Amino acid sequence: MDEDQEWVAQVLSGSKDAYAHLVNKYKTRVYGLLIGMGASPQDAQDLAQESFIKAYRYLASYNPEKQFSSWLYKIAANSYLDVWRKQKRERMDAQEEEYVDWTSPEQVYLHKERAHELRAHIARLPEKYRLVLVLRYIDDLSYKEIAEVLELPLPTVQTHLHRAKKKLRAALQYTKTGGDLNEMYGI
Amino acid sequence: MKCTEYEQMSRHVEGETAGREKMAMDTHLLNCPACRNLYEECQAEREALRAALRAPALPGSFTEDIMARLKPHAVVPEEPQAPEPVRKAGKRKWKRWAYAAAGTLLAVSVAASVSPSFASYLTQSIFNRNNQMIDLGLQMAGEKGFVQQGNYYVTDNGITLRVLDVVADPTRIALSYVLEKEGGGHLDPDFDPRFREEAGNRVYLTDTKGNKLADMSSWGRNDPYGIIGFQLENNIPEKAVVHFELSRVGGFAGIGAKEGRWELQVPVDMKKGLEATRSTAVNLQHTTGQGVSINIKTLLFAPTKSQLEFETSITGSAKKKLQELVERENRLGIAEEGADAYRDYTYGISYRLLDEKGRVVAGKSGPVLPSGERERNPIDSSGVHKPFGRTVWKDGFVPLGEAKRLTFVLDAVDMEEPSDFSLSFTPDNLKKSPVTGQYQGSTIKIKSFVVKRDWDIKKRPPFFEDESHAIIELEGVHPQNTGTFTHWVVTDENGRTYKAMVSGGEEDPDASGNRKFTSTLRVYGLKHEPKKLTLSLTRIMKRHTDVDWKVDIPVSR
């Protein structure tokens, strides 16, 4: 129906260059998804490229009745989960150092501090909550689209998102009043 | 409707409420400052999460690196029996869309990469026909030459606030601005607080004598530009002034913000917009069998929108029903304290507007109107509550300067009414024998009951607050015309009654019009494991489609 499907059709009929439109359109969001999931910027970049290449190879299996973006996010989320699930725990602390360098030097301190704080909290959320939250905010996916990507029932998506936000709210207030974050999350 | 809890408001802010739930919330928000605060809080939260999850820039070679690793897909030669004729037609259609899509993309990317010199801003307004980031009305007004441009800017702390385009007519003023960084680049076009006057950032409209006409009423982004809107009431002067008084720009909820002082006054010439606007007195009145009275007052064609002004109120039977409802809730002890009963009572109408050829030009939450058409031709609605259930509406839709005739078709009336449905159950037995009930054709099943031990952290002592509450999960099916069930109370074995906070969702109707639903009831205050509970529905929101009013609205030439 939309331009994505048209580009997919062009790629499938042999026009490789049409794929560049899709890469350009979604690269930042796929990258954001992977970083939001907890990959370091360099790993996220590699994984994003792998995801696009995987999507290209399996493009014929994509069902054009569904959103291309949802299908792509599913591939990216799975790539992340395949590679990182096992190593996640050990890597978490190391990644946080890298987060600090995200923001360019001229950006104000406040920005760094607040966004960094929020990202650190997001990184500590249980994986199932984090996935829903990240999908929701990197591309404003509707609950229905998130349900499609993660193959979860709609009420579960709603509950996960609500719990994720409640935990973040509580955590942000908790750090202000002092306290141990691990305790907060029951880790 | 009753005040909203965080979960529901959060869904509302994210555009996840629909139909009657959305309507009830929008109406409630018009007049409840507490809920408006919660609304803004949820908005701030969403912006903060978006900002926190915004990805850093990728290297320029990212796409090329991928493309270099791909081989063209092999084209499968057409076999004699394949593809079916339908599919062929589909392919041709795709090709045509491809050109259209490419054109759009190009135009958008040109707008987004405009260099920051003023001369180049002047070459194209962002209020133009190809900019799909703005509403159609602004696109059309831009195309017809209603954009005013001038060299308005102010610099402080290395940041220049520059106003680029202004579009004005008697219904609204819209302007675009950009926050330029010294030495190139832009800040995020956001600023915070956007709508609360007290805290450092103000954007408002006055006449030339400094009398205030309006506060900023809308904000949107079309990066790197921001778009500000003012909704206008009557008595618009020929000249007006937009005032910027900003002290923190470039971010929301503190993220990415820069401090300084940016004061700027931008003159707006209303004359052209006023001259191009036609207003017709309509004065058509109808009262539905349900007791909802509709009085269509004015139809207005302005360059950026068409606007239907009408008033709704409740009469006779509807007022009586409302009294019953309020009395009943008082008996149960669950009525909102001191709440204006009429204000708390939700009703609404759904309608369509057809042009002289019978085409739908605008629609408001109609059950008859296909949802695709409703999305293409939405009505943006604003209402002001008056005493005794009266509401004055200004419903805007796409500019229709050329329309020869418009027909107003009333599709449905939604009204809350009292309900006497209740279900008793023993929480302990629920797992073994789920409880199911029937009400007005709907099936309601109580799926589970748990008491959740929970606490919340407050900014002020006591820092920990016991938020333990009971959670009841319901599921079921509504047939085509039953209401939405949003007002539940729970009575425990000691006869104490608690109000439930309801959230949940509905699936789209299936072929026979049945809608599956799930609801989560949170019962605050209920912290013990009760032996027996009675769940009662106090109100339902019911849609009446047996309304028959179709009327031509005169369009003067």
CB–CB of B481/B368 below 8 Å? no
CB–CB of B321/B418 below 8 Å? yes
Identify which of A139-143, B103-107, B171-175, B466-470 has the greatest average pLDDT: B171-175
Identify which of B29-33, B182-186, B421-425 has the greatest average pLDDT: B421-425
Q: Please tell me the distance from the alpha carbon of residue B421 to that of residue B13, in angstroms, as a whole number.
A: 31
How many A-B residue pairs are in contact by the CB < 8 A criterion?
152
Question: According to the model, what pLDDT value does residue B254 have?
Answer: 57
Host H or E run for residue A155: helix A154-177
Compute and round to an integer the Cα radius of gyration of chain B. 27
Q: Closest Cα to residue B408, out of B365, B375, B370, B360?
A: B360
Question: What is the value of pTM for the model shown?
Answer: 0.59
**DSSP characters over B177-202:** EEEEETTS-B--S-BSSSS-TTSS-E
Percentage of residues of chain B with pLDDT beyond 70? 79
Q: Which residues of A touch B55 (CB under 8 A)?
A: 28-29, 31-32, 35-36, 44, 138
Does the pLDDT of residue B320 top 70, yes or no? yes
Q: How many CB atoms lie within 10 A of CB A128?
A: 14
Please state, rounded to an integer, the average pLDDT across all residues of chain B. Answer: 78
Does the pLDDT of residue B87 top 60, yes or no? no
Q: What confidence tens digit (pLDDT) does each residue in B227-277 have?
A: 999 988 877 899 999 999 998 888 765 566 788 999 999 999 999 999 999
Question: According to the model, what pLDDT value does residue A15 have?
Answer: 85
Q: Which residues of A touch B62 (CB under 8 A)?
A: 23, 27, 45, 48-49
Question: According to the model, what pLDDT value does residue B380 have?
Answer: 75
- Please tell me if residue B221 touches chain A, with a CB cutoff of 8 Å: no
- Please tell me if residue B73 touches chain A, with a CB cutoff of 8 Å: yes
Question: According to the model, what pLDDT value does residue B463 have?
Answer: 53
Average pLDDT over residues B79-92: 29
A120 Cβ neighbours under 8 A, 6+ residues apart: A96, A99
Q: Please tell me the distance from the alpha carbon of residue A166 to that of residue A126, in angstroms, as a whole number.
A: 13
**DSSP characters over A50-106:** HHHHHHHHTGGGS-TTS-HHHHHHHHHHHHHHHHHTTTHHHHHHHHHHHHGGGS-TT
CB–CB of B420/B397 below 8 Å? no
Q: Please tell me the distance from the alpha carbon of residue B218 to that of residue B373, in angstroms, as a whole number.
A: 25
Of chain B residues 6-65, which have a CB less than 8 A from chain A? Answer: 6-7, 10-11, 14-16, 45-46, 48-59, 62-63, 65
How open is the CA angle B526-B528-B534, to the nearest 5 degrees? 60
Does the pLDDT of residue B88 top 50, yes or no? no
DSSP B234: S
Average pLDDT over residues A20-32: 91
Percentage of residues of chain A with pLDDT beyond 70? 74
Of chain A residues 110-129, which have a CB less than 8 A from chain B? Answer: 110-111, 114-115, 118-119, 122
Residue of B nearest to A12 (CA): B73
CB–CB of B481/B439 below 8 Å? no
Report CA B225 to chain centroid distance, whole Å. 22
Q: How many CB atoms lie within 10 A of CB B462?
A: 8
Q: Please tell me the distance from the alpha carbon of residue B113 to that of residue B101, in angstroms, as a whole number.
A: 19
Cross-chain Cβ contact A118/B48 below 8 Å: yes
Q: How many CB atoms lie within 10 A of CB B208?
A: 11
Average pLDDT over residues B334-358: 70
Average pLDDT over residues B508-529: 83
Question: According to the model, what pLDDT value does residue B75 have?
Answer: 60
Does the pLDDT of residue B297 top 60, yes or no? yes
The pairing of strands B442-452 and B484-492 is unpaired
The residue among B22, B255, B469, B520 with the most chain A CBs within 10 A of its CB, best to mutate, is B255
Question: According to the model, what pLDDT value does residue B344 have?
Answer: 53
CA of B498 vs chain A CAs: smallest distance (Å)? 23
Token pair belonging to B552: 């031509």
Question: According to the model, what pLDDT value does residue B261 have?
Answer: 92
CB–CB of B131/B108 below 8 Å? yes
- Total domains in chain A come to 1
Q: In this predicted structure, which of A45-59, B48-62, B486-500 has the lowest mean pLDDT?
A: B48-62
Does the pLDDT of residue B337 top 80, yes or no? no
Question: According to the model, what pLDDT value does residue A2 have?
Answer: 76
CB–CB of B408/B394 below 8 Å? no
Token pair belonging to B9: 């408001």
Q: What confidence tens digit (pLDDT) does each residue in B113-147 have?
A: 233 344 444 457 888 877 767 778 888 888 888 99
Cross-chain Cβ contact B48/A114 below 8 Å: yes
Of chain A residues 148-177, which have a CB less than 8 A from chain B? Answer: 154-155, 158-159, 162, 165-166, 168-170, 173-174, 176-177
Looking up tokens 């989560």, which residue turns up?
B520
Question: According to the model, what pLDDT value does residue B236 have?
Answer: 84
What confidence tier does B220 reach under pLDDT thresholds 50, 70, 90?
confident
What confidence tier does A43 reach under pLDDT thresholds 50, 70, 90?
confident
Question: According to the model, what pLDDT value does residue B119 have?
Answer: 42
* CATH assignment of the domain containing A14: 1.10.1740.10
Q: In this predicted structure, which of A102-116, B50-64, B181-195 has the lowest mean pLDDT?
A: A102-116
Question: According to the model, what pLDDT value does residue B76 have?
Answer: 47
Q: What confidence tens digit (pLDDT) does each residue in A161-176 have?
A: 988 888 888 777 655 4
Q: Which member of B6, B70, B104 has the closest CB to residue A56?
A: B70
Question: According to the model, what pLDDT value does residue B163 have?
Answer: 94
- Please tell me if residue A78 touches chain B, with a CB cutoff of 8 Å: no
The CB-side HSE value for B70 (13 A sphere, CA atoms) comes to 29
Question: According to the model, what pLDDT value does residue A179 have?
Answer: 43
Q: What confidence tens digit (pLDDT) does each residue in B433-467 have?
A: 889 999 988 999 999 898 877 655 544 455 555 66
Question: According to the model, what pLDDT value does residue B255 have?
Answer: 62
Q: What confidence tens digit (pLDDT) does each residue in A102-126 have?
A: 333 333 333 445 677 788 888 888 8
- Domain coverage including residue A90: 3-185
Cross-chain Cβ contact A143/B16 below 8 Å: yes
- Please tell me if residue A42 touches chain B, with a CB cutoff of 8 Å: no
Q: In this predicted structure, which of B75-89, B228-242, B321-335 has the lowest mean pLDDT?
A: B75-89
Q: How many CB atoms lie within 10 A of CB A61?
A: 8
Host H or E run for residue B520: strand B515-524
Task: Examine the predicted complex and report whether its ipTM is higher than 0.95.
Answer: no
Q: Please tell me the distance from the alpha carbon of residue B145 to that of residue B317, in angstroms, as a whole number.
A: 51
Q: Please tell me the distance from the alpha carbon of residue A23 to that of residue B68, in angstroms, as a whole number.
A: 13
Does the CA dihedral A140-A146-A150-A152 come out positive or negative?
A: positive
B246 Ramachandran zone, left/alpha/beta (phi>0; psi -120 to 50): beta
What confidence tier does A182 reach under pLDDT thresholds 50, 70, 90?
very low
Question: According to the model, what pLDDT value does residue B271 have?
Answer: 92
Of chain B residues 476-495, which have a CB less than 8 A from chain A? Answer: none
